[in-house]
Structure 1
């Protein structure tokens, strides 16, 4: 009985990955957004983001996630220009999470995180996906949202998780609209 329950909870769930489908509402909740993180280093950001992921109730192997994130950052930083980082495990193991999800963190001060342009970082997304297909779709969607809308600027204007979630959903709607009307 326990084995079948585990299998039911951890089997990859269907997520609509079409260009016109919104993924933010399915993968992100206001409770999974932490504004005002006081981290001052890459390692403290990783730990605090994993703490946030753990609070979703969807993380099965906390230690493995930390280890995989550290390995991924050693390979090449997930920080991008514009002050954001798209943290994700080095490998996407279906057993690590009960379902795919994304948590978001904002630090009170910008910190060095290894951006290719050497800029500092204050907005962090931790992408926790059960397979490569979902992961790549989420990564592409977040990149488009961050670089083709005013998402980052608007996120820096508030520390309220519900408002941040609304801003993220609005940004995604803009991207979907751009896809429909190129």
Structure 2
């Protein structure tokens, strides 16, 4: 680690053009074009373009409602091993009949799924980082869906990728972008930032499937949720 990074650990949140290109899986030329058009949030630091990773994540979330599905497929594309989303969402990671309430209460329920399943030894570190993330900007992307996630996946130390699905049939106020209630939560716990981005794109793709949110709300068992996911298996392979 360089002296600069030792003096300021938050510098890891700043990405260069090369790093943001790798993160978004596009060419540096594309990033340069996006900077010129003002499409991607960026700032000059000492004459060099830099990007704040947390802000980039927020930008991605805000784009998920309008981005074409073909572009989401491009985001997910990679050359590594393909996993089914079914493998990342075991029955034990599906919370049916979530109770409505404040943001903190919703997060407690989602994190509690991981501790109850023995996936997470302690709830506090993940809960704290999720709460801070929501204070920055809600992860409710509209359409009845929210995708809570840590700002810095690597800091959580997950050895595997995990997804928790929570269903709140009556809906709850999660400060959604569209001002509507949130019914379905997808908690992303990725082992690194690349997997994090692909999980975010994959879950967004899933939740934009016609009728899927309504189907999840009507489901009464975790098995029904898994069946709905299985029925969309052609679009739900993910490379991590």
Q: What's the TM-score, normalizing by structure 1?
A: 0.79
Q: CA deviation at 1:122?
A: 1.3
Higher relative contact order (CA 8 A, sep 6+): 1
1:141 aligned partner: 202
- Aligned pair partner of 1:154 in 215, 229, 239: 215
- Aligned pair partner of 2:137 in 60, 76, 92: 76
C-alpha RMSD over aligned residues: 2.3
Unaligned runs of 5+ in 1: 1-15, 178-182
Give, in whole Å, the separation in 2 of the partners of 1:63 and 1:20. 32
Give, in whole Å, the separation in 1 of the partners of 2:82 and 2:107. 29
1:42 partnered with 2:103: yes
Give, in whole Å, the separation in 1 of the partners of 2:235 and 2:191. 24
Aligned residues: 161
Q: Deviations over 1:84-118 (max 9, x none)?
A: 11111111026532421101111242111011110
Q: Higher Cα Rg: structure 1 or 2?
A: 2
1:85 partnered with 2:146: yes
Moved beyond 6 Å, runs of 4+: none
Give, in whole Å, the separation in 1 of the partners of 2:162 and 2:116. 12
Change in Cα spacing, 1:96 to 1:144, as seen in structure 2 (3 Å) is same
Q: Deviations over 1:26-72 (max 9, x none)?
A: 21111211111123221110001010121232224421101110111
Unaligned runs of 5+ in 2: 1-76
